Protein backbone atom coordinates (compact mmCIF):
# COMPACT_ATOMS: atom_id res chain seq x y z
CA UNK A 1 0.00 0.00 0.00
CA UNK A 2 2.81 2.38 0.90
CA UNK A 3 4.48 1.65 -2.44
CA UNK A 4 1.37 2.81 -4.29
CA UNK A 5 1.24 5.96 -2.19
CA UNK A 6 4.89 6.67 -2.99
CA UNK A 7 4.30 6.07 -6.68
CA UNK A 8 1.30 8.39 -6.74
CA UNK A 9 3.27 11.04 -4.87
CA UNK A 10 6.15 10.75 -7.32
CA UNK A 11 3.76 10.86 -10.27
CA UNK A 12 2.04 13.94 -8.82
CA UNK A 13 5.38 15.62 -8.27
CA UNK A 14 6.39 14.89 -11.86
CA UNK A 15 3.14 16.35 -13.16
CA UNK A 16 3.66 19.47 -11.07
CA UNK A 17 7.25 19.80 -12.32
CA UNK A 18 6.15 19.43 -15.94
CA UNK A 19 3.33 21.97 -15.55
CA UNK A 20 5.56 24.44 -13.72
CA UNK A 21 8.28 23.95 -16.32
CA UNK A 22 5.80 24.51 -19.14
CA UNK A 23 4.45 27.67 -17.50
CA UNK A 24 7.97 28.91 -16.80
CA UNK A 25 8.99 28.46 -20.44
CA UNK A 26 5.86 30.27 -21.63
CA UNK A 27 6.32 33.04 -19.06
CA UNK A 28 9.96 33.44 -19.97
CA UNK A 29 9.09 33.65 -23.65
CA UNK A 30 6.39 36.20 -22.87
CA UNK A 31 8.93 38.30 -20.96
CA UNK A 32 11.37 38.16 -23.87
CA UNK A 33 8.78 39.30 -26.40
CA UNK A 34 7.50 42.07 -24.11
CA UNK A 35 11.07 43.32 -23.69
CA UNK A 36 11.24 44.02 -27.44
CA UNK A 37 8.40 46.59 -27.30
CA UNK A 38 10.65 49.69 -26.98
CA UNK A 39 12.67 48.57 -30.00
CA UNK A 40 9.54 47.90 -32.09
CA UNK A 41 8.10 51.29 -31.14
CA UNK A 42 11.33 53.02 -32.17
CA UNK A 43 11.41 51.20 -35.52
CA UNK A 44 7.77 52.05 -36.17
CA UNK A 45 8.31 55.74 -35.49
CA UNK A 46 11.41 55.80 -37.67
CA UNK A 47 9.34 54.42 -40.55
CA UNK A 48 6.69 57.11 -40.07
CA UNK A 49 4.06 55.03 -38.25
CA UNK A 50 2.28 57.21 -35.65
CA UNK A 51 1.73 55.79 -32.17
CA UNK A 52 0.13 58.77 -30.45
CA UNK A 53 -3.42 60.00 -31.22
CA UNK A 54 -2.17 63.58 -31.47
CA UNK A 55 -0.09 62.57 -34.51
CA UNK A 56 -3.25 61.79 -36.47
CA UNK A 57 -4.78 65.23 -36.04
CA UNK A 58 -3.66 67.57 -38.79
CA UNK A 59 -4.39 71.33 -38.86
CA UNK A 60 -8.01 71.92 -39.75
CA UNK A 61 -8.59 73.40 -43.22
CA UNK A 62 -10.46 76.72 -43.50
CA UNK A 63 -14.26 76.33 -43.16
CA UNK A 64 -14.73 77.39 -46.78
CA UNK A 65 -12.60 74.42 -47.92
CA UNK A 66 -13.73 71.78 -45.39
CA UNK A 67 -16.59 69.52 -46.50
CA UNK A 68 -16.98 67.76 -43.12
CA UNK A 69 -19.62 70.18 -41.69
CA UNK A 70 -21.69 69.72 -44.85
CA UNK A 71 -21.70 65.94 -44.44
CA UNK A 72 -22.72 66.38 -40.81
CA UNK A 73 -25.64 68.57 -41.88
CA UNK A 74 -26.55 66.03 -44.54
CA UNK A 75 -26.61 63.31 -41.89
CA UNK A 76 -28.88 65.44 -39.67
CA UNK A 77 -31.30 66.23 -42.52
CA UNK A 78 -31.60 62.62 -43.69
CA UNK A 79 -32.12 61.47 -40.10
CA UNK A 80 -34.86 64.01 -39.44
CA UNK A 81 -36.52 63.50 -42.82
CA UNK A 82 -35.39 60.11 -44.14
CA UNK A 83 -35.89 58.72 -47.61
CA UNK A 84 -38.59 56.04 -47.60
CA UNK A 85 -37.31 52.44 -47.94
CA UNK A 86 -39.11 51.90 -51.25
CA UNK A 87 -37.64 55.01 -52.85
CA UNK A 88 -34.24 54.24 -51.36
CA UNK A 89 -34.35 50.83 -53.04
CA UNK A 90 -35.26 52.50 -56.33
CA UNK A 91 -32.25 54.82 -55.98
CA UNK A 92 -30.02 51.81 -55.37
CA UNK A 93 -31.39 50.06 -58.49
CA UNK A 94 -30.83 52.95 -60.89
CA UNK A 95 -27.99 52.06 -63.21
CA UNK A 96 -28.18 48.32 -62.51
CA UNK A 97 -29.75 45.44 -64.42
CA UNK A 98 -32.56 45.29 -61.88
CA UNK A 99 -33.73 48.86 -62.62
CA UNK A 100 -37.27 49.28 -63.88
CA UNK A 101 -39.18 52.23 -65.35
CA UNK A 102 -40.81 52.66 -61.94
CA UNK A 103 -37.38 52.91 -60.30
CA UNK A 104 -36.30 55.68 -62.67
CA UNK A 105 -39.59 57.51 -62.12
CA UNK A 106 -39.28 57.26 -58.32
CA UNK A 107 -35.67 58.41 -58.44
CA UNK A 108 -36.54 61.40 -60.61
CA UNK A 109 -39.37 62.42 -58.30
CA UNK A 110 -37.14 62.17 -55.24
CA UNK A 111 -34.32 64.21 -56.80
CA UNK A 112 -36.78 66.92 -57.79
CA UNK A 113 -38.34 67.03 -54.33
CA UNK A 114 -35.20 66.90 -52.18
CA UNK A 115 -33.27 69.89 -53.45
CA UNK A 116 -32.10 70.52 -49.87
CA UNK A 117 -30.22 67.21 -49.89
CA UNK A 118 -28.78 67.60 -53.38
CA UNK A 119 -27.66 71.17 -52.63
CA UNK A 120 -25.72 69.97 -49.60
CA UNK A 121 -24.11 67.17 -51.61
CA UNK A 122 -23.10 69.60 -54.33
CA UNK A 123 -21.71 71.99 -51.75
CA UNK A 124 -19.69 69.27 -50.00
CA UNK A 125 -18.27 67.82 -53.20
CA UNK A 126 -17.22 71.30 -54.36
CA UNK A 127 -14.71 71.53 -51.52
CA UNK A 128 -11.23 70.02 -51.76
CA UNK A 129 -10.71 68.97 -48.12
CA UNK A 130 -12.59 66.97 -45.50
CA UNK A 131 -11.57 66.80 -41.85
CA UNK A 132 -14.09 65.68 -39.23
CA UNK A 133 -11.75 66.71 -36.37
CA UNK A 134 -12.20 63.33 -34.69
CA UNK A 135 -11.12 62.55 -31.15
CA UNK A 136 -8.65 59.77 -31.95
CA UNK A 137 -7.87 59.24 -28.26
CA UNK A 138 -11.23 57.38 -27.96
CA UNK A 139 -9.63 54.43 -29.69
CA UNK A 140 -12.09 51.58 -30.31
CA UNK A 141 -14.97 53.71 -28.97
CA UNK A 142 -14.63 56.17 -31.85
CA UNK A 143 -17.56 56.03 -34.27
CA UNK A 144 -17.78 57.03 -37.94
CA UNK A 145 -21.51 57.73 -38.48
CA UNK A 146 -20.99 59.91 -41.56
CA UNK A 147 -19.91 57.01 -43.78
CA UNK A 148 -23.44 55.64 -44.11
CA UNK A 149 -24.78 58.94 -45.38
CA UNK A 150 -21.82 59.50 -47.67
CA UNK A 151 -22.74 56.21 -49.32
CA UNK A 152 -26.31 57.47 -49.70
CA UNK A 153 -24.94 60.64 -51.31
CA UNK A 154 -22.90 58.56 -53.79
CA UNK A 155 -26.00 56.64 -54.84
CA UNK A 156 -27.99 59.86 -55.27
CA UNK A 157 -25.26 61.33 -57.47
CA UNK A 158 -25.22 58.17 -59.57
CA UNK A 159 -29.00 58.28 -60.01
CA UNK A 160 -28.97 61.97 -60.93
CA UNK A 161 -26.17 61.59 -63.47
CA UNK A 162 -27.83 58.62 -65.20
CA UNK A 163 -31.15 60.44 -65.43
CA UNK A 164 -29.39 63.45 -66.97
CA UNK A 165 -27.68 61.16 -69.49
CA UNK A 166 -31.01 59.59 -70.47
CA UNK A 167 -32.30 63.11 -71.15
CA UNK A 168 -29.32 63.81 -73.41
CA UNK A 169 -27.53 66.19 -71.01
CA UNK A 170 -24.25 64.30 -71.18
CA UNK A 171 -21.91 67.06 -70.08
CA UNK A 172 -23.95 67.78 -66.96
CA UNK A 173 -24.24 64.04 -66.28
CA UNK A 174 -20.48 63.55 -66.43
CA UNK A 175 -19.74 66.56 -64.23
CA UNK A 176 -22.36 65.38 -61.72
CA UNK A 177 -20.92 61.88 -61.59
CA UNK A 178 -17.40 63.28 -61.20
CA UNK A 179 -18.55 64.66 -57.84
CA UNK A 180 -18.76 61.05 -56.68
CA UNK A 181 -14.99 60.75 -57.11
CA UNK A 182 -14.48 63.77 -54.84
CA UNK A 183 -16.86 62.15 -52.36
CA UNK A 184 -14.72 58.99 -52.35
CA UNK A 185 -11.60 61.06 -51.82
CA UNK A 186 -13.21 62.77 -48.82
CA UNK A 187 -13.95 59.40 -47.18
CA UNK A 188 -10.29 58.41 -47.42
CA UNK A 189 -9.22 61.53 -45.53
CA UNK A 190 -9.59 59.63 -42.25
CA UNK A 191 -6.28 57.81 -41.59
CA UNK A 192 -7.91 54.47 -40.80
CA UNK A 193 -8.45 51.36 -42.90
CA UNK A 194 -12.25 51.62 -42.67
CA UNK A 195 -12.15 55.08 -44.28
CA UNK A 196 -9.92 53.69 -47.02
CA UNK A 197 -12.35 50.83 -47.70
CA UNK A 198 -15.40 53.13 -47.65
CA UNK A 199 -13.66 55.38 -50.17
CA UNK A 200 -13.07 52.40 -52.46
CA UNK A 201 -16.76 51.48 -52.21
CA UNK A 202 -17.88 55.01 -53.05
CA UNK A 203 -15.50 55.07 -56.00
CA UNK A 204 -16.96 51.77 -57.27
CA UNK A 205 -20.46 53.31 -57.17
CA UNK A 206 -19.22 56.33 -59.13
CA UNK A 207 -17.48 54.15 -61.73
CA UNK A 208 -20.70 52.21 -62.18
CA UNK A 209 -22.53 55.47 -62.92
CA UNK A 210 -19.85 56.63 -65.35
CA UNK A 211 -20.00 53.29 -67.18
CA UNK A 212 -23.77 53.65 -67.56
CA UNK A 213 -23.33 57.14 -69.05
CA UNK A 214 -20.78 55.75 -71.51
CA UNK A 215 -23.17 53.00 -72.59
CA UNK A 216 -26.03 55.48 -73.06
CA UNK A 217 -23.81 57.79 -75.13
CA UNK A 218 -22.36 54.98 -77.24
CA UNK A 219 -20.60 56.17 -80.40
CA UNK A 220 -20.39 59.84 -79.46
CA UNK A 221 -16.79 61.01 -79.77
CA UNK A 222 -17.24 64.23 -77.78
CA UNK A 223 -18.92 62.48 -74.84
CA UNK A 224 -16.51 59.54 -74.94
CA UNK A 225 -13.52 61.91 -74.87
CA UNK A 226 -14.98 63.86 -71.95
CA UNK A 227 -15.52 60.66 -69.96
CA UNK A 228 -11.95 59.55 -70.64
CA UNK A 229 -10.52 62.91 -69.59
CA UNK A 230 -12.72 63.04 -66.48
CA UNK A 231 -11.61 59.58 -65.38
CA UNK A 232 -7.96 60.48 -65.94
CA UNK A 233 -8.22 63.77 -64.04
CA UNK A 234 -10.74 63.15 -61.25
CA UNK A 235 -10.25 59.51 -60.27
CA UNK A 236 -9.26 59.48 -56.55
CA UNK A 237 -5.65 58.76 -55.63
CA UNK A 238 -5.97 56.19 -52.87
CA UNK A 239 -3.24 55.74 -50.27
CA UNK A 240 -3.17 52.51 -48.31
CA UNK A 241 -0.21 53.89 -46.36
CA UNK A 242 -2.41 56.75 -45.13
CA UNK A 243 -5.14 54.30 -44.14
CA UNK A 244 -2.70 52.19 -42.12
CA UNK A 245 -1.49 55.12 -40.01
CA UNK A 246 -4.48 55.05 -37.68
CA UNK A 247 -4.27 51.28 -37.17
CA UNK A 248 -1.04 51.46 -35.18
CA UNK A 249 -2.52 54.24 -33.02
CA UNK A 250 -5.72 52.25 -32.38
CA UNK A 251 -3.76 49.15 -31.43
CA UNK A 252 -1.57 51.14 -29.06
CA UNK A 253 -4.65 52.61 -27.36
CA UNK A 254 -6.26 49.17 -27.01
CA UNK A 255 -3.14 47.71 -25.41
CA UNK A 256 -2.94 50.68 -23.03
CA UNK A 257 -6.56 50.06 -22.03
CA UNK A 258 -5.77 46.41 -21.28
CA UNK A 259 -2.72 47.42 -19.25
CA UNK A 260 -4.65 50.02 -17.24
CA UNK A 261 -7.58 47.73 -16.49
CA UNK A 262 -10.08 49.60 -18.68
CA UNK A 263 -10.60 46.58 -20.92
CA UNK A 264 -10.41 42.84 -20.29
CA UNK A 265 -9.05 40.32 -22.74
CA UNK A 266 -12.47 38.71 -23.16
CA UNK A 267 -14.02 42.13 -23.88
CA UNK A 268 -11.45 42.65 -26.61
CA UNK A 269 -12.35 39.30 -28.12
CA UNK A 270 -16.05 40.17 -27.98
CA UNK A 271 -16.91 37.35 -25.58
CA UNK A 272 -20.49 37.30 -24.28
CA UNK A 273 -19.24 36.54 -20.82
CA UNK A 274 -16.85 39.46 -20.74
CA UNK A 275 -18.87 41.38 -18.15
CA UNK A 276 -18.42 38.61 -15.62
CA UNK A 277 -14.82 37.97 -16.62
CA UNK A 278 -12.52 37.65 -13.64
CA UNK A 279 -9.40 37.98 -15.76
CA UNK A 280 -9.62 41.75 -16.09
CA UNK A 281 -6.92 43.96 -17.51
CA UNK A 282 -4.58 45.76 -15.16
CA UNK A 283 -3.02 42.66 -13.60
CA UNK A 284 0.67 41.97 -14.06
CA UNK A 285 -0.05 39.13 -16.46
CA UNK A 286 -2.44 41.26 -18.51
CA UNK A 287 0.13 44.03 -18.78
CA UNK A 288 2.73 41.52 -19.90
CA UNK A 289 0.40 40.00 -22.50
CA UNK A 290 -0.49 43.50 -23.74
CA UNK A 291 3.13 44.57 -24.09
CA UNK A 292 4.12 41.36 -25.88
CA UNK A 293 1.07 41.56 -28.14
CA UNK A 294 1.72 45.18 -29.06
CA UNK A 295 5.35 44.37 -29.87
CA UNK A 296 4.24 41.65 -32.30
CA UNK A 297 1.47 43.80 -33.82
CA UNK A 298 3.82 46.72 -34.46
CA UNK A 299 6.41 44.38 -35.97
CA UNK A 300 3.89 42.86 -38.39
CA UNK A 301 2.21 46.19 -39.20
CA UNK A 302 5.59 47.67 -40.07
CA UNK A 303 5.93 45.05 -42.82
CA UNK A 304 2.52 46.04 -44.22
CA UNK A 305 3.39 49.72 -43.88
CA UNK A 306 6.54 49.30 -45.95
CA UNK A 307 4.76 47.12 -48.52
CA UNK A 308 2.04 49.77 -48.96
CA UNK A 309 4.51 51.97 -50.88
CA UNK A 310 5.08 49.31 -53.55
CA UNK A 311 3.39 49.62 -56.93
CA UNK A 312 0.92 47.12 -58.35
CA UNK A 313 1.01 44.18 -58.91
CA UNK A 314 3.94 43.74 -56.50
CA UNK A 315 2.02 45.27 -53.58
CA UNK A 316 -0.80 42.73 -53.68
CA UNK A 317 1.64 39.85 -54.04
CA UNK A 318 3.73 40.91 -51.04
CA UNK A 319 0.71 41.68 -48.85
CA UNK A 320 -0.92 38.39 -49.80
CA UNK A 321 2.19 36.59 -48.60
CA UNK A 322 2.14 38.59 -45.36
CA UNK A 323 -1.50 37.58 -44.79
CA UNK A 324 -0.67 33.90 -45.23
CA UNK A 325 2.40 34.21 -42.98
CA UNK A 326 0.38 35.79 -40.15
CA UNK A 327 -2.36 33.19 -40.53
CA UNK A 328 0.27 30.45 -40.18
CA UNK A 329 1.81 32.16 -37.14
CA UNK A 330 -1.58 32.50 -35.43
CA UNK A 331 -2.32 28.84 -36.14
CA UNK A 332 1.04 27.76 -34.71
CA UNK A 333 0.58 29.98 -31.64
CA UNK A 334 -2.86 28.48 -30.94
CA UNK A 335 -1.44 24.95 -31.14
CA UNK A 336 1.56 25.72 -28.93
CA UNK A 337 -0.47 27.90 -26.52
CA UNK A 338 1.71 30.97 -26.99
CA UNK A 339 0.25 33.78 -24.82
CA UNK A 340 2.23 36.45 -26.70
CA UNK A 341 -0.09 35.96 -29.69
CA UNK A 342 -3.37 36.38 -27.78
CA UNK A 343 -3.79 40.03 -28.78
CA UNK A 344 -2.28 39.79 -32.31
CA UNK A 345 -4.70 36.95 -33.13
CA UNK A 346 -7.60 39.30 -32.29
CA UNK A 347 -6.27 42.61 -33.59
CA UNK A 348 -4.48 41.80 -36.86
CA UNK A 349 -6.87 42.11 -39.84
CA UNK A 350 -6.15 41.07 -43.43
CA UNK A 351 -4.62 44.16 -44.98
CA UNK A 352 -3.83 42.23 -48.15
CA UNK A 353 -7.55 42.08 -48.89
CA UNK A 354 -7.72 45.88 -48.69
CA UNK A 355 -4.87 46.19 -51.16
CA UNK A 356 -6.63 43.82 -53.56
CA UNK A 357 -9.82 45.90 -53.31
CA UNK A 358 -7.91 48.96 -54.50
CA UNK A 359 -6.33 46.90 -57.26
CA UNK A 360 -9.75 45.85 -58.51
CA UNK A 361 -11.07 49.44 -58.48
CA UNK A 362 -8.02 50.64 -60.44
CA UNK A 363 -8.57 47.84 -62.95
CA UNK A 364 -12.22 48.88 -63.40
CA UNK A 365 -11.24 52.51 -63.92
CA UNK A 366 -8.50 51.66 -66.45
CA UNK A 367 -10.83 49.34 -68.35
CA UNK A 368 -13.55 51.99 -68.51
CA UNK A 369 -11.12 54.69 -69.61
CA UNK A 370 -9.75 52.41 -72.34
CA UNK A 371 -13.30 51.56 -73.49
CA UNK A 372 -14.10 55.27 -73.81
CA UNK A 373 -11.06 55.76 -76.05
CA UNK A 374 -12.04 52.77 -78.22
CA UNK A 375 -15.60 54.08 -78.66
CA UNK A 376 -14.29 57.54 -79.55
CA UNK A 377 -11.99 55.94 -82.16
CA UNK A 378 -14.92 54.02 -83.65
CA UNK A 379 -17.06 57.17 -83.78
CA UNK A 380 -14.32 59.05 -85.68
CA UNK A 381 -13.00 56.42 -88.07
CA UNK A 382 -15.96 54.08 -88.55
CA UNK A 383 -14.18 50.93 -87.36
CA UNK A 384 -12.84 49.56 -84.13
CA UNK A 385 -9.06 49.57 -83.69
CA UNK A 386 -7.29 46.26 -84.15
CA UNK A 387 -5.21 46.97 -81.07
CA UNK A 388 -5.69 49.23 -78.04
CA UNK A 389 -2.49 51.10 -78.87
CA UNK A 390 -4.04 52.19 -82.18
CA UNK A 391 -6.69 54.10 -80.18
CA UNK A 392 -4.01 55.74 -78.05
CA UNK A 393 -4.60 53.55 -75.00
CA UNK A 394 -1.48 53.40 -72.82
CA UNK A 395 -3.11 52.22 -69.59
CA UNK A 396 -1.95 48.95 -68.05
CA UNK A 397 -3.56 46.18 -66.06
CA UNK A 398 -2.71 46.59 -62.34
CA UNK A 399 -2.82 42.80 -61.96
CA UNK A 400 0.22 42.17 -64.15
CA UNK A 401 1.58 45.57 -65.16
CA UNK A 402 1.00 44.78 -68.85
CA UNK A 403 -1.48 45.94 -71.48
CA UNK A 404 -5.19 45.37 -70.88
CA UNK A 405 -6.85 42.50 -72.74
CA UNK A 406 -8.71 43.48 -75.93
CA UNK A 407 -11.06 41.30 -77.94
CA UNK A 408 -13.07 42.07 -81.11
CA UNK A 409 -16.41 40.27 -81.30
CA UNK A 410 -17.15 38.35 -84.49
CA UNK A 411 -20.44 36.64 -83.57
CA UNK A 412 -23.52 38.14 -85.21
CA UNK A 413 -26.02 36.63 -82.79
CA UNK A 414 -25.93 36.38 -79.00
CA UNK A 415 -28.28 35.24 -76.28
CA UNK A 416 -29.63 38.14 -74.25
CA UNK A 417 -31.39 37.87 -70.89
CA UNK A 418 -34.95 39.11 -71.35
CA UNK A 419 -36.52 38.30 -67.99
CA UNK A 420 -35.49 36.74 -64.70
CA UNK A 421 -38.04 35.16 -62.39
CA UNK A 422 -37.46 33.93 -58.88
CA UNK A 423 -34.41 34.21 -56.69
CA UNK A 424 -31.85 32.02 -55.01
CA UNK A 425 -29.40 29.69 -56.69
CA UNK A 426 -31.66 28.57 -59.58
CA UNK A 427 -33.80 31.48 -60.88
CA UNK A 428 -35.78 31.05 -64.11
CA UNK A 429 -34.02 32.94 -66.90
CA UNK A 430 -35.62 33.66 -70.28
CA UNK A 431 -33.15 34.16 -73.14
CA UNK A 432 -33.65 35.68 -76.57
CA UNK A 433 -31.45 35.25 -79.63
CA UNK A 434 -30.72 38.78 -80.88
CA UNK A 435 -28.74 40.12 -83.81
CA UNK A 436 -25.78 42.31 -82.87
CA UNK A 437 -23.29 44.47 -84.73
CA UNK A 438 -19.53 44.41 -84.43
CA UNK A 439 -18.34 45.03 -80.91
CA UNK A 440 -15.40 44.69 -78.59
CA UNK A 441 -14.40 43.87 -75.04
CA UNK A 442 -11.71 45.34 -72.81
CA UNK A 443 -10.90 43.42 -69.65
CA UNK A 444 -8.35 42.67 -66.96
CA UNK A 445 -6.59 39.36 -66.37
CA UNK A 446 -7.94 39.36 -62.81
CA UNK A 447 -6.35 38.44 -59.52
CA UNK A 448 -5.19 34.98 -60.63
CA UNK A 449 -3.44 36.35 -63.72
CA UNK A 450 -4.55 33.31 -65.72
CA UNK A 451 -6.66 35.06 -68.33
CA UNK A 452 -4.02 36.42 -70.70
CA UNK A 453 -5.29 35.85 -74.22
CA UNK A 454 -8.42 34.11 -72.98
CA UNK A 455 -11.52 34.98 -75.08
CA UNK A 456 -13.78 37.47 -73.37
CA UNK A 457 -16.75 35.12 -73.06
CA UNK A 458 -14.60 32.58 -71.19
CA UNK A 459 -13.26 34.89 -68.48
CA UNK A 460 -14.73 34.82 -64.94
CA UNK A 461 -17.53 37.27 -64.20
CA UNK A 462 -15.59 39.01 -61.42
CA UNK A 463 -12.84 40.22 -63.76
CA UNK A 464 -13.07 43.97 -64.46
CA UNK A 465 -14.42 44.30 -67.99
CA UNK A 466 -16.38 46.36 -70.49
CA UNK A 467 -18.35 44.52 -73.18
CA UNK A 468 -19.87 46.46 -76.10
CA UNK A 469 -22.25 44.68 -78.47
CA UNK A 470 -24.74 47.02 -80.17
CA UNK A 471 -28.09 45.35 -80.79
CA UNK A 472 -29.45 45.82 -84.33
| pLDDT, tens digit (0-9, with 9 covering 90-100), for 392-428 | 999 999 988 889 989 887 765 444 544 445 554 445 5
**Mean pLDDT of the chain, nearest integer:** 83
Residue 200 placed within a domain: no
More reliable by pLDDT, 111 or 35: 111
- Would 307 be classed as within a structural domain? yes
Q: Which of 294, 317, 349 is the last residue of a domain?
A: 349
Q: Which of 320, 349, 378 is the last residue of a domain?
A: 349
Instruction: Examine the domain organization and report whether 384 and 321 are in the same domain.
Output: no
Asked if residue 331 and residue 374 are part of one domain, the reply reads no
The domain in which residue 397 lies consists of: 370-472
Does one domain contain both 324 and 418?
no
Indicate whether 433 and 341 sit together in one domain.
Answer: no
Does some domain include residue 228? no
Q: Model confidence at 274, in pLDDT bands (50, 70, 90)?
A: very low
Both 6 and 49 in one domain: the answer is yes
Number of domains, the chain: 2
28 in any annotated domain: yes
pLDDT in tens, 222-258: 999 999 999 999 888 899 999 999 999 998 888 888 8
Distances (CA, A) of 367 to 373, 382, 470: 10, 21, 18
Average of pLDDT values for 357-368?
92
Query: Is 90 exceeded by the pLDDT of residue 9?
Result: no
Q: Are residues 389 and 324 in the same domain?
A: no
95 located within any domain: no
Pair 331, 386 in one domain: no
- Determine, yes or no, domain membership for 134: no
- Note the pLDDT of residue 451: 47
Q: What is the pLDDT of residue 356?
A: 86
Q: Is residue 355 one of the residues assigned to a domain? A: no
In a domain, 213, yes or no: no
Higher pLDDT, 158 or 2: 158
Amino acid sequence: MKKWIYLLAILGALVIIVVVGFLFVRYNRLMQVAATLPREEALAQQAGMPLDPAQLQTPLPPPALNAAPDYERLMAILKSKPISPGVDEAIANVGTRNATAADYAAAGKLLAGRQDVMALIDRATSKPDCDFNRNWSLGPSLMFPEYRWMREAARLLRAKSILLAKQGHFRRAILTQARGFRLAQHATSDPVIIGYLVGLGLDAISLQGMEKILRIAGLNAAVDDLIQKTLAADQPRFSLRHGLKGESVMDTIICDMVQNGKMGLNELAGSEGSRNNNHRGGSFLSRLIAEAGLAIVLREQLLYFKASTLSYPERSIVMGRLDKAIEAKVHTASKTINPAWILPAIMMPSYGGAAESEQQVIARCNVLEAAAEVLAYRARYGAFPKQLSAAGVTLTDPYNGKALQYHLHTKRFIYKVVRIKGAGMMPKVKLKNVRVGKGFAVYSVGRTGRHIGVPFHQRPKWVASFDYRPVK
